[in-house]
């Protein structure tokens, strides 16, 4: 299909040479929710060579309002988001290599995923993962693009190791932590606006137009008609432990990792096993059914009803316990069924 990228190539800042660069690049997207699915869709249509998408969750009905790659059938099948995304993206552009990874991102996994990529896009929903991305970006010298949204508010910032302040530097100046939770709800236009900023910067980086990469921190409130563009050059801290003269990459250290997490904006606790494991889901389903529990699932996960709670178990031993924010209760359910 020689015409496929013709309109993009007619844009002088990209051209045929830029399109060839885009086709040669590998982008890692952390998260396949609202921001992740939108970024993945645009970059797939733009013809990126390879796209790795990693996410820990599966498609739920409440996702359909703003997560553009998913449909009702994905909800019925409880498909992991990355599996549903890969299926849809392959239909959009079969020339793009889509690598779908079902996982909760920790530093060890992140290093495996990031090795050899040209760009990392933040589409996650928690700051533990974002700070790990930030440190890994600095360690491996990979650009990354921060993005967050809640309610009608969004923000984005592009981080180039060795040139711009990192996210750890920014935390001293901007209260971005408040953007990690969707308890205030979300409207789809706010999501789309963040995606616009992230993917535009992504294309600049992929074609290596470094001169035009935005160096400011963008924030906006669409409902209240507010838009802010902040210069960040003075935020760079030479003593920063992530990007300073003597980096220690603190957010890649195991002691800073959470094994149990209350998922933002949801009545759900995630539990990660302390060691690597691989469950045989079919055998586990039989065992749980023998206990009198209601079990359903697919090749990627099991859904188990435990009284008023629902436990979703993934192959790697990770589980989402729905219907509670009580960490002790969640752990008790997990250990009772999985040991």
Task: Tell me the β-bridge partners of 229.
Answer: 218
Interstrand relation of 144-150 and 119-122 (parallel, antiparallel or unpaired)? parallel
Contacts of 128 (CB under 8 A, 6+ apart): 251, 256, 257, 258, 261
> Within a 10 A sphere around the Cβ of 103, how many other Cβ atoms?
18
CB–CB of 309/321 below 8 Å?
yes
Domains, in order of start, for the chain: 6-255 (3.40.50.720), 258-338 (3.30.310.10)
181 is known as an active-site residue: yes
CA-wise closest residue to 205 among 74, 8, 14, 3: 14
CA-wise closest residue to 157 among 141, 140, 181, 133: 133
The CA distance from 242 to 164, in Å, is: 12
pLDDT tens column, 176-213: 544 444 456 889 999 999 999 999 999 999 999 999 99
| pLDDT grade for 256, boundaries at 50, 70 and 90 | low
* In the block, residue with structure tokens 């963008």: 218
Does residue 112 surpass a pLDDT of 50?
yes
* pLDDT for 328: 81
Does residue 265 surpass a pLDDT of 90?
no
End-to-end CA distance of the chain: 53
Task: Tell me the β-bridge partners of 268.
Answer: 322
* pLDDT for 176: 53
* pLDDT for 14: 98
What are the CA-CA distances from residue 96 to residues 31, 93, 129, 266 (Å)? 19, 6, 26, 33
- The DSSP 8-state label assigned to residue 263 in this structure reads P
- The DSSP 8-state label assigned to residue 311 in this structure reads E
Does the reported pTM lie above 0.75?
yes
CB–CB of 159/192 below 8 Å?
no
pLDDT tens column, 36-93: 999 999 999 999 999 999 998 999 999 999 999 999 999 999 999 999 999 999 999 9
| pLDDT grade for 263, boundaries at 50, 70 and 90 | confident
Find the mean pLDDT for residues 219-242.
94
> Within a 10 A sphere around the Cβ of 286, how many other Cβ atoms?
11
Q: What percent of the chain has pLDDT over 70?
A: 93
CB–CB of 247/140 below 8 Å?
no
The CA distance from 304 to 297, in Å, is: 9
Contacts of 90 (CB under 8 A, 6+ apart): 98
Q: How does the average pLDDT of the chain come out, rounded?
A: 91
The one catalytic residue among 149, 166, 181, 264: 181
């Amino acid at each position: 299909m020689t015409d496929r990228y013709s309109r993009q190539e007619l844009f002088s800042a990209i051209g045929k040479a830029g399109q060839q660069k885009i086709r040669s690049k590998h982008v890692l997207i952390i998260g396949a929710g609202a921001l992740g699915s939108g970024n993945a869709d645009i970059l797939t249509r733009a013809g990126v060579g390879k796209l790795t998408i990693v996410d820990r969750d599966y498609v739920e009905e409440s996702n359909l309002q703003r997560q553009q790659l998913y449909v009702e059938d994905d909800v019925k099948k409880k498909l992991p988001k990355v599996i549903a995304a890969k299926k849809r993206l392959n239909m959009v552009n079969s020339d793009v290599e889509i690598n779908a990874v079902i996982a909760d991102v920790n530093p060890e996994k992140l290093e495996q995923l990031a090795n050899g990529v040209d760009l990392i896009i933040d589409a996650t929903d928690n700051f533990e993962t974002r700070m790990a991305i930030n440190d890994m970006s600095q360690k491996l010298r990979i650009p990354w693009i921060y993005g967050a949204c809640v309610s009608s508010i969004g923000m984005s910032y592009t981080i180039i190791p060795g040139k711009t302040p990192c996210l750890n530097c920014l935390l001293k100046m901007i209260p971005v932590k408040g953007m990690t939770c969707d308890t205030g709800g979300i409207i789809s236009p706010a999501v789309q606006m963040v995606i616009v900023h992230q993917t535009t910067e992504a294309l600049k980086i992929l074609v290596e137009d470094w001169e035009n990469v935005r160096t400011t921190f963008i924030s906006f409130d669409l409902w209240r008609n507010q838009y802010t563009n902040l210069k960040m050059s003075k935020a760079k801290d030479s003593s920063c432990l992530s990007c300073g003269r003597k980096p220690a990459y603190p957010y890649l250290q195991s002691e800073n990792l959470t094994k149990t997490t209350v998922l933002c904006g949801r009545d759900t606790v995630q539990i990660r096993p302390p060691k690597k494991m691989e469950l045989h889901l079919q055998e586990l389903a039989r065992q749980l059914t023998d206990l009198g529990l209601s079990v359903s699932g697919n090749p990627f996960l099991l859904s188990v009803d435990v009284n008023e709670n629902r436990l979703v178990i993934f192959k790697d031993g990770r589980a989402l316990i729905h219907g509670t924010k009580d960490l002790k209760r969640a752990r008790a359910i997990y250990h009772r069924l999985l040991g």
